[in-house]
Structure formats: structure tokens, C-alpha cells
Amino acid sequence: MSRILVVEDSPTLLYTVSRMLTEGGHQVLTATDGEQAMSLVIQEHPSLVLLDVILPKLNGYQVCRRMKSSPATAQIPVVMITSKTKDNDRRWGLEQGADDYVTKPLDARQLLAVIDRFVPRSR
């Protein structure tokens, strides 16, 4: 079973995405700030990280950059999830090492399709 770390500071969105992923056959880990996310990435080595950009302590760009610069975590796929919709924001996220970039409001089918590219679902 794949383990997906969802990093989101909005309790509502965190719950919604976590529930959707659990129902899709994934095990879900959660973090609400960038420092907590980094700790979980190092300790748990999730199959995928869904990473909000605007976070307390460390923003999503910083978390992604740190993950991708460490040999221990560089291979973990990162999908940025954000309300930042400008092309420059997307480009910056990808330049920081993100493997994909999904904008809010989230479309469940689109998000699951992106996730399926990186990790298999269990039934």
C-alpha cells in the first residue's frame, strides 16, 4: 500500500484530501507545517508528498528544495498543491524540484489522475 504525505494547513482541505486518498486505497500521513513535513519525510519515506505552497514555518518551496537536495529523499515525488495559479508560480515550483503542480480549488479526478502517475492504488 502506498503512503502519501499530505501537507496542508487548512484543516478542511487536509481532511477532504486525506479522506479521498484513504477511499482510493492509500495510507495517508498528514502534516500542517513545513517543519513537520520535513520530519515525516525523513522518518517515514512516503511514496508521494502532496505539498501546499503556503505553509507556516517552512513554505512548500523550501520543503521541496530540501527534499530534492538530500540523497535520502530526492527520489520521493512531490506534487505541489496551491492557490497560486500564475505561470511564474508553477515554473518556480517545478524549478524547486516539484514533479507536478496542481491548483486549487482541487478537482478530485484530476488530483487522483496525477497521483496515479506516481503511486499505485490498492483496492
CATH code of the domain covering residue 44:
3.40.50.2300
**What number is the average pLDDT over the span 47-76?**
96
7 lies in some domain: yes
> According to the model, what pLDDT value does residue 87 have?
77
**What number is the average pLDDT over the span 90-96?**
86
Number of compact structural domains in the chain = 1
- pLDDT bracket for residue 123 (50, 70, 90): low
Can you give the residue range of the structural domain that contains 65? 3-118
Q: How far is CA 51 from the centre of its chain?
A: 3
49 lies in some domain: yes
**What number is the average pLDDT over the span 64-70?**
96
> According to the model, what pLDDT value does residue 85 have?
76
Rg (CA), the chain: 13
33 lies in some domain: yes
Query: Is the model's pLDDT at 90 over the cut of 90?
Result: no
> According to the model, what pLDDT value does residue 83 have?
85
123 lies in some domain: no
> According to the model, what pLDDT value does residue 49 have?
98
Indicate the range of 11-25, 66-80, 107-121 predicted with least confidence. Answer: 107-121
